[in-house]
Amino acid sequence: MNHDPIDPALATALATALATLRGASAACAAPPRVEQALMAAFAQQFARKRWYQRLSPAHWGLAGALGSATAAVLAVLILRAPLPGAADAAAPLQLDDGLAFIALASQERIEQETHPRMLEASLQRTELAALGVPVSPETAGDFVRAEMLVGADGSPLALRLSSQ
Q: Encode the chain (164 residues) as per-residue pLDDT tens digits.
A: 566 777 888 899 999 999 999 888 887 877 879 988 998 999 888 888 888 888 899 999 999 999 999 999 999 988 887 766 554 444 444 444 546 788 888 888 888 888 888 888 888 888 888 777 788 888 888 888 888 888 888 888 888 887 65
**Do 133 and 94 form a contact (C-beta atoms < 8 A)?**
no
Longest Cα–Cα distance of the chain, Å, equals: 120
**Do 135 and 85 form a contact (C-beta atoms < 8 A)?**
no
Q: Which of left, alpha, beta for 133 (phi over 0: left; psi -120 to 50: alpha)?
A: beta
